[in-house]
Structures are given as C-alpha cells and as structure tokens.
C-alpha cells in the first residue's frame, strides 16, 4: 500500500512537471512564432527596399544615358560652332584687310592709314600725333573737344581722296562719308591733318566780330556763294560790287558782304564763285557800320585762299 501510494505520488509529480513544461514550451513556441513574424516583416521590407533601389538605379542609369547623349550632342554642336567661328574669323580677317590699312604700301594707303588712325584715337590728345603743328593746335583742340569728343571707325569705302601725286607742303581734301571734309598736307614727315582748317577755326567768332563792329580786317574761314542782297550803302551797287553770302562752320552768317567788281580781289573772287556753287574760302573782312550798326554789312578786303588750308 505504501509502495502504491509512492507510485501514485510520483506519477502525479511527473504529470504536474510535464504539464508545466508543456506550458513553457507553448509559451516559447508563441515567442518564436512572433520572432518569425517579425523576421518575415523585415524580409518583406528588405525586398521592398531592394525593389525601390533597383528602380532608382534603373532611373539613374537611364539618366546617365540621357546625360551622355546630351553631352555628345552638345560636343557635336560645340565642334560645329568652333568650325563656324574659324570660318567667321577668316572672313573677318579678309574683311579687315579690305577695310583697314595697318601697313601702308603706297601714297593712298598712307592717307587712309592717317585718317583711320586719327578717327580711332580713344582720347583727343592722341590725335595730336597725326596733326600739323600739334603744339599750336593743342589749346584749340582742348577747347573744341572738351565734353564733346567721340572716336569712330572709318572704313576704306568711306574715304574719298581728292587728287594724287602730292608735293611737299601741298594741301588736299579727304572727304569722309560723302560730307565731312578733312584737310591734309604732305610733309617731310609724311601726311598730316591740318586740324585748324578741318575744324574751320577762326581767330575770333563771327558773332563777336559782328558785335564789335570791327573795322580791323580779319581772316575768316567761310563757305561763300554769290548773292543778290544789296542794301544800305550798297543798295545801288549792283553794277559796281559783287554781293557774297558767307557762313562759318557754326552757321553764323553775313548776307551783306561786298567787294568791288573792278578790283583784282573782286575779279579773283568772281572766278571762284561764278559757278553758283558754295566754296570754302579764307576771306579777309571788315565791318561797314556807316549805315547799319548790326554788323550785317561787311567789306571783303582780300581773298586769302581757295580752301581752308593756308598751305
């Protein structure tokens, strides 16, 4: 009986122990299942990330291909532009050689070089190297160009040289763009620009000359034409005097200028003006204020020069 009791007790202990172990095992299994579930979730996330990465790499690869194509296309375009630029440079050089003189080879080239260099000076002071008597011209040039200086580019086609085969100290005209007259002179140092003549410079302004009613004969660079204006002391002088209209480069004028038809100077002036055209002359004048104190009547006392360069 005792033995039986011990056996039954042992069986109960074993049964209880087994039951406890089973419960622990079930708990462990549940924990393992949870871990497996978490691992599966992580694996799914990793797969998703790998898929996204693969897609991104594909896009990057496609972008790289597109970029490579773009770079290639741009390289081809750059090569075309370089070739085009080279062609333009060749054309520009040919045009430059045709339009500009850098190394004069003859008289015409030397004159063109003078004009182009003169106009291209960035500062007015640099023009002194190309003018006659630069130290004499400098003060007047400073006044003339202060706040009013511009440099420019002049091509061969814009330059018209009047005459050829010039002698030393001989003056001649160069016409720029069909209307601007530049007086030049051949010197022992080459061709130079007569700046005072080209600028139409006068010793006193015509306005001042008229206002002062100056009776002192004064030289003026003017544009002159034969006129028909007879007034005041010369109202009845049509048969004895030539009427001449004069105007300086600034547009100041005297309509009533007169010179005796029978005088040597009158005959000389008539020979110049008889074609009815306007001529650039240097005339010596004095005001006749006996009947008109406005300065509008003047006597021509001398024909100094045909043209504005004194020669």
pLDDT, residue 183, reads 96
Q: Examine the domain organization and report whether 210 and 159 are in the same domain.
A: no
pLDDT at 231 over 90: yes
Cα 106 from chain centroid?
29
Cα 80 from chain centroid?
29
Q: What is the dihedral of CA 288, 293, 296, 297, to 10 degrees?
A: -20
Q: Which helix (H) or strand (E) holds 258?
A: strand 253-260
Supply angle C-alpha 40, 46, 50, rounded to 5. Answer: 145
pLDDT band at 38 (very low <50, low <70, confident <90, very high): confident
pLDDT, mean over the chain: 84
Q: Classify residue 10: in a domain, yes or no.
A: no
Q: Examine the domain organization and report whether 114 and 189 are in the same domain.
A: yes
Q: Classify residue 243: in a domain, yes or no.
A: yes
Of 99, 128, 152, which marks where a domain is finished? Answer: 99
Structural domain of 94: 54-99
Q: Tally the C-alpha atoms within 13 A of residue 178's C-alpha that lie toward its C-beta.
A: 0
Q: Which helix (H) or strand (E) holds 287?
A: strand 279-287
Q: Examine the domain organization and report whether 78 and 136 are in the same domain.
A: no
* Residue 261 φ/ψ, nearest 5 degrees: -65, -30
Q: For the ranges 37-41, 119-123, 140-144, 186-190, which has the lowest average pLDDT? A: 37-41
Q: Examine the domain organization and report whether 179 and 116 are in the same domain.
A: yes
Q: Provide the domain count of the chain.
A: 3
Maximum alpha-carbon separation in the chain: 187
User: What does DSSP assign to residue 166?
Assistant: P
* Strands of the sheet with 180-187, listed across from one edge: 159-161, 171-176, 180-187, 190-193
User: pLDDT above 90 covers what percent of the chain?
Assistant: 62
Q: Classify residue 148: in a domain, yes or no.
A: yes
Q: Examine the domain organization and report whether 113 and 192 are in the same domain.
A: yes
Q: Classify residue 13: in a domain, yes or no.
A: no
Output the domain CATH number for residue 241: 2.40.50
Of 128, 163, 198, which marks where a domain is finished? Answer: 198
Of 35, 66, 99, which marks where a domain is finished? Answer: 99
pLDDT band at 78 (very low <50, low <70, confident <90, very high): confident
Query: What are the pLDDT digits (tens) for 158-201?
Result: 999 998 889 999 999 999 999 999 999 999 999 999 999 999 99
Among 113, 144, 107, 141, CA closest to 126: 141
Q: For the ranges 161-165, 173-177, 234-238, 304-308, which has the lowest average pLDDT? A: 161-165
Q: Examine the domain organization and report whether 92 and 114 are in the same domain.
A: no
Q: Classify residue 166: in a domain, yes or no.
A: yes
Q: Classify residue 137: in a domain, yes or no.
A: yes
Q: Examine the domain organization and report whether 66 and 156 are in the same domain.
A: no
Query: What are the pLDDT digits (tens) for 82-103?
Result: 655 544 443 344 344 568 999 9
Q: Examine the domain organization and report whether 58 and 75 are in the same domain.
A: yes
Q: What is the DSSP string of 221-246?
A: EEEEEEE----GGGTT-TTTEEEEEE
Q: Classify residue 1: in a domain, yes or no.
A: no
Residue-wise over 91-100: b if at least 16 C-beta within 10 A, else e? eeeeeeeebb
Q: Examine the domain organization and report whether 135 and 171 are in the same domain.
A: yes
CB 298 within 8 A of CB 285: yes
């Amino acid at each position: 009986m005792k033995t039986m009791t011990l056996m039954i007790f042992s069986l109960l202990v074993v049964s209880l122990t087994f039951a406890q172990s089973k419960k622990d095992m079930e708990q462990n299994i549940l924990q393992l299942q949870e871990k497996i579930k978490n691992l599966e979730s992580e694996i799914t996330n990793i797969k998703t990330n790998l898929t996204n990465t693969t897609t991104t790499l594909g896009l990057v690869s496609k972008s790289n291909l597109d970029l490579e194509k773009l770079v290639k296309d741009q390289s081809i375009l750059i090569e075309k532009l370089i070739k085009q630029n080279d062609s333009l440079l060749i054309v520009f050089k040919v045009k430059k050689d045709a339009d500009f003189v850098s190394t004069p080879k003859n008289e015409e080239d030397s004159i063109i070089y003078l004009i182009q260099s003169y106009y291209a000076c960035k500062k007015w002071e640099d023009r002194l190297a190309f003018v006659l008597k630069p130290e004499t011209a400098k003060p007047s040039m400073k006044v003339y160009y202060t706040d009013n200086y511009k440099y420019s580019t002049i091509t061969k086609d814009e330059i018209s040289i009047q005459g050829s085969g010039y002698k030393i100290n001989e003056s001649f005209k160069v016409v720029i763009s069909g209307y601007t007259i530049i007086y030049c002179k051949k010197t022992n140092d080459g061709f130079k620009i007569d700046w005072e003549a080209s600028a139409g410079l006068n010793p006193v302004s015509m306005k001042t000359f008229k206002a002062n009613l100056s009776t002192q004969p004064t030289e003026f660079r003017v544009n002159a034409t034969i006129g028909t204006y007879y007034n005041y002391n010369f109202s009845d002088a049509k048969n004895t005097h030539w009427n001449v209209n004069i105007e300086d480069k600034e547009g100041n004028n005297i309509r009533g200028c007169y010179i005796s038809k029978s005088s040597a100077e009158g005959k000389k002036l008539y020979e110049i003006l008889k074609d009815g055209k306007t001529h650039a002359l240097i005339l010596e004048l004095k005001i006749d204020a006996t009947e008109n104190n406005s300065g509008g009547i003047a006597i021509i006392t001398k024909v100094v020069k045909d043209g504005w360069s004194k020669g």
